[in-house]
Copies of this chain bind each other. A is one copy, B any other.
Amino acid sequence: MTASKQPAPGTKRPIDMRYLESTVGYSIRRAQMAVFQHIYESFDDKALTLVQFSVMAVAADNPGVTQSELAQVLAVERPRIVPILNRLEELGFAKRVVSEDDKRNRQIVLTASGAARLRELKRRFAAHERELDELLGKRKTGLLDALHRLSGIGE
């Protein structure tokens, strides 16, 4: 090993990150980045985005859910739902149906093709979650509990 003022190529001098890593805010951001990337690697090519996937998952369990309801429960602004559903309709995975009870509402329903696509993606998502299980072991229950508690801070 040669003494040098310059770090060897490929060698990074260590940066003290202890302060930020002790905070929930920074740690949760880094964890979310890693988890999202892992999900996208588990999805197949040309897969849906996570928001599109989430819309399909909610629509599957709540047939006839409206766009406003989707926006509210997924915590995205109403205008953002529009291009997401446009895309899902283009792909033949979902349909807007004007509600009979209140013609302002568009009820979202999955097509057979959309339900099949969702099943495939849920299968891949489950494989991703099993990998997290290996990493987390028994910590997973506590993690979800803590995350759900954090989600309710402002209420």
Q: A105 to nearest B CB, angstroms? A: 11
Given A62-B16, A146-B143, are A27 and B151 neighbors across the interface (CB < 8 Å)? yes
Q: Which of B16, B132, B151 contacts A24 (CB 8 A)?
A: B132
For A93-108 the 0/1 string (1 means CB < 8 A from B) is 0000000011000000
Given A57-B20, A142-B139, A143-B142, are A27 and B148 neighbors across the interface (CB < 8 Å)? yes
Taken together as a complex, chains A and B put the C-alpha atoms of A153 and B128 apart, in Å, by 11
Are the C-beta atoms of B34 and A152 separated by less than 8 Å?
A: yes
- How many copies the complex holds: the figure is 2
Q: Does A75 contact B (CB under 8 A)?
A: yes
Taken together as a complex, chains A and B put the C-alpha atoms of A136 and B147 apart, in Å, by 9
Q: Which of B17, B24, B135 contacts A35 (CB 8 A)?
A: B24
Are the C-beta atoms of A129 and B57 separated by less than 8 Å?
A: no
Query: Which residues 94-149 in A have Cβ within 8 Å of B in the complex?
Result: 101-102, 125, 128-129, 131-132, 135-136, 139-140, 142-149
Q: Could you write out 6 A-B pairs with CB less than 8 Å apart? A: A15-B73, A24-B132, A30-B147, A136-B146, A139-B146, A143-B146
